[in-house]
């Protein structure tokens, strides 16, 4: 059995986040010791590691909930899990494209500034007037 602090250290998940996951029903409410301390089993440790890894990959809490539910039925086809992962991959690719647009615009803005004073600074003018941006990046 593990205390909440042990669980936190072993998984890298902060104690308040573990409590949040309990409230959200992602981690089962733990047993309590005679001193009313939370006591977690290896199963909860593994579940929390699963959640942490899924969060690191950017999965939303509802997707994690669905994946946890699916993991409880190992005999079922994995098509739904594949769809959840494919949707997350699409979301990540969209974010990467957005970041590339931001990078391009920031490079352009930073390289256009030849001013010697803030009054002549292209960076300040471009941030003040979105029309000076080359592309839509927001």
- Tell me the mean pLDDT in the region 36-42: 84
For residue 90, pLDDT beyond 80? yes
Q: What is the mean pLDDT of the chain?
A: 88
Please report, for the chain, the start and end positions of each structural domain, with discontinuous segments joined by +: 2-74, 81-132
Q: Which fold has domain 2-74?
A: Multidrug-efflux Transporter Regulator; Chain: A; Domain 2 (1.10.1660)
Q: What is the pTM of this model?
A: 0.77
User: 131 vs 74, 101, 126, 128, 137, CA distance in Å?
Assistant: 54, 16, 8, 9, 12
């Amino acid at each position: 059995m593990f205390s909440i602090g042990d669980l936190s250290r072993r998984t890298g998940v902060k104690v308040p986040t573990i409590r949040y996951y309990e409230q959200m029903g992602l981690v089962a409410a733990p047993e309590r010791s005679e001193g009313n301390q939370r006591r977690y089993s290896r199963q909860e440790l593994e579940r929390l590691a699963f959640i942490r890894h899924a969060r690191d990959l950017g999965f939303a809490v509802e997707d994690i909930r669905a994946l946890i539910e699916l993991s409880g039925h190992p005999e079922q086809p994995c098509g739904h899990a594949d769809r959840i992962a494919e949707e997350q991959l699409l979301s990540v690719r969209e974010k990467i494209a957005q970041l590339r647009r931001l990078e391009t615009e920031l490079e352009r803005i930073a390289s256009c500034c030849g001013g010697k004073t803030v009054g002549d600074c292209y960076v300040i003018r471009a941030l003040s007037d979105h029309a000076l941006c080359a592309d839509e990046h927001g």
